[in-house]
Structure 1
């Protein structure tokens, strides 16, 4: 249920002042879309009733009319999007009732992105319910992805708790749907590989969700927020796809999770004679940086402060494998010129995603740009060593940032 901080008995001025001090923004528009999108739950109930009827009739979802599977899939997507948005709002309101009706910008952006798609999926579900020849795959690409994740560093704790609450609710429905689906497959031998793929996807999502929940049991330090956020994003994305695949199993055979497969273990370490300390640097820029004395010192210090070089190298190996398989490529600007390297040591390449791919447990969407950030600057101060994917829109700059654990940077 929505909450309006200024109509709940609290003086409006005090609410606005408290929200401003926290950097939060009004959620009035989001609450309007929450109310309007409530129809998604009714469509989900209709879909679950239909699923039970199909199970009782022994229907094979591989061979039902396209409208039936489209109704199940579209209802699922509307439910997932509405559920994520509502749980994010409610978790933020519960965390600080003083500012109920206001949310952090990252929450506002994410909820808005989810609610914006609910109407379209609800409409498609109703169209399919009224027309058994309606094939939603002719209208949109399937399985559909969730909206892009809004970025915040660190992600607010209430936002993470909202993601966890949404994961719990969505997981329950996804696992019930999977169980019903498996129990009604008449030709299990023919579709054994597909069923195993679904169980694998469910297990992967459950593991990410369980780890995130374990990390959130106590109030985690900000340094853990990103790790929790990535696991919850992965779980939600996986359950979102799982629900679509159980609704329309014809999609399973061609389903690509974006996993690039096993990456060969990195036997070479910074202590190995054959180790290349520039392996994180953009291959197209290495010669330039090798000529810079300060860059050489920065790269040397980066590896000296890295507490787990194998973990750093493993992510780079995934990036290299994705590049080799054509899932990613070097990013270019609007004029078709290569963007080059990121401005911070170790000056990694900037990439663009050519097809959905999962790197370091994070699903990247087609068209996104990213780079691999590795940073040791906070380690001497007791901070964490940073190794993460940075996603955004990159543009040329003359700034340069060297690895400088003493806190002095030169631009």
Structure 2
């Protein structure tokens, strides 16, 4: 549990420093932090209940719905509260001059987490008082974390906060999994489910450990996104893992979004099989191939790509997700295809049909996204961009070609 970062009315110097850094006040967040502290009492109650169930030899597949609901809801409240607090504390520790102020991305993310703590705490208490309470009849479970706030690059203290949250949540998840293993050791016929939980725990731990290794020294700004992706993935898996441990009847139908071994490998530049238009929306390729400026843009895009294999690996994942039906081409409000993204290489805009993980990022049903690949900043010393852009897309007449000199056409 983190300490209260509030310091009363900030001094003029604090306010000026925060303004220069582009930070916003966190007074409301601190109020919700204090109120949300009840989540820690609920997770302690849940852990006591979990140990009692294990001692009694209870089979969690057959307990009253209120029991598993209490465990699940208390876990969710704890994780959300923990993420919010660690993000605040990491930012305050990074610059004590602006305690009580945080970057906008941190404010947005903490708000999204704290906003859900009360509801999950209430459900946990309802379940504790009513053995027939079934949370799965009220909300979809396993629930996802709130959507991640976007920032480019993500502030370093924000990453340290995510890592600290991952460490704290991991410790509780591993204890819960260990207690759970005791309840299924005597051959209840759930070995496959237990192995699935162990696999998820290993995946989350690996993502967290890898991110921690990248954060040991002050990372280059270009690494921030890679670290952020792995920490997001670790926290998302731990959030689901705790829910599956609490309500193991969910394990059989759980969709992690893993594409498995179905991801192919696209031919790279230099190969006779290489298709320089492989990043372009299949529905729009013929049009762009007829455009001389587009031809030149595609040529320059690949010339400036420092790691074409990395670019192609993400596209191969998108292609596999499309083939599996996890994603489809997005449509506008009239049901017409949205077409391609306005920037070179004019990739398709997709909508997610079922949970899927692409480039270490879990995408959720209903989300729209495209794959942005951009070489425009490379000649000036900037980084080559390859990332998923998630948002709400709409038709536009704007066109942006690959232009290393920084000139674009609207």
Deviates further, 300-309 or 135-144: 300-309
The two structures have a TM-score, normalised by structure 1, of 0.96
Deviates further, 383-392 or 37-46: 383-392
Query: CA separation in 2, counterparts of 1:248 and 1:18?
Result: 47
Query: Are 1:234 and 1:363, in contact at CA under 8 Å, matched by a contact in 2?
Result: yes
SS of structure 2 residue aligned to 1:280: coil
Q: How does 1:99-248 map to 2 (within 5 A)?
A: 99-188=98-187, 190-248=189-247
Query: CA separation in 2, counterparts of 1:47 and 1:69?
Result: 10
Post-superposition Cα deviations, 1:74-125, rounded to whole Å, max 9, x if no partner, equal: 0000000000000011111111111111111111110010001000100010
Cα drift, residue 62 of structure 1: 1.1
Query: CA separation in 1, counterparts of 2:183 and 2:352?
Result: 38
Which residue number in structure 1 is paired with residue 13 of structure 2?
Answer: 14
Structure 1 residue runs of 5 or longer lacking an equivalent are none
Query: CA separation in 2, counterparts of 1:189 and 1:49?
Result: 23
Query: CA separation in 2, counterparts of 1:161 and 1:55?
Result: 35
Which residue number in structure 2 is paired with residue 44 of structure 1?
Answer: 43
Q: How does 1:68-83 map to 2 (within 5 A)?
A: 68-83=67-82
Which residue number in structure 1 is paired with residue 63 of structure 2?
Answer: 64
Query: Are 1:266 and 1:310, in contact at CA under 8 Å, matched by a contact in 2?
Result: no
Deviates further, 320-329 or 46-55: 320-329
Post-superposition Cα deviations, 1:170-211, rounded to whole Å, max 9, x if no partner, equal: 000001100111122144461111011001100000000001
Query: Are 1:5 and 1:98, in contact at CA under 8 Å, matched by a contact in 2?
Result: no
Which residue number in structure 2 is paired with residue 287 of structure 1?
Answer: 286
Query: CA separation in 2, counterparts of 1:5 and 1:345?
Result: 48
Deviates further, 14-23 or 179-188: 179-188
Post-superposition Cα deviations, 1:359-393, rounded to whole Å, max 9, x if no partner, equal: 11110011111100111223333433221111112
Structure 2 residue runs of 5 or longer lacking an equivalent are none
What is the RMSD of the two structures over their aligned residues, measured on CA atoms?
Answer: 1.4
Query: CA separation in 1, counterparts of 2:232 and 2:219?
Result: 17
Cα drift, residue 267 of structure 1: 5.6
Cα drift, residue 264 of structure 1: 4.2
Q: How does 1:252-263 map to 2 (within 5 A)?
A: 252-263=251-262
Post-superposition Cα deviations, 1:119-169, rounded to whole Å, max 9, x if no partner, equal: 010001001101111111111111000000000111111111110110000
The structure-2 alpha-carbon separation of the partners of 1:261 and 1:56, relative to structure 1 and needing over 3 Å to count, comes to same
1:297 is aligned to 2:326: no
Query: CA separation in 2, counterparts of 1:264 and 1:114?
Result: 33
Which residue number in structure 1 is paired with residue 344 of structure 2?
Answer: 345
Query: CA separation in 2, counterparts of 1:263 and 1:306?
Result: 25
Query: CA separation in 1, counterparts of 2:175 and 2:129?
Result: 25
The two structures have a TM-score, normalised by structure 2, of 0.97
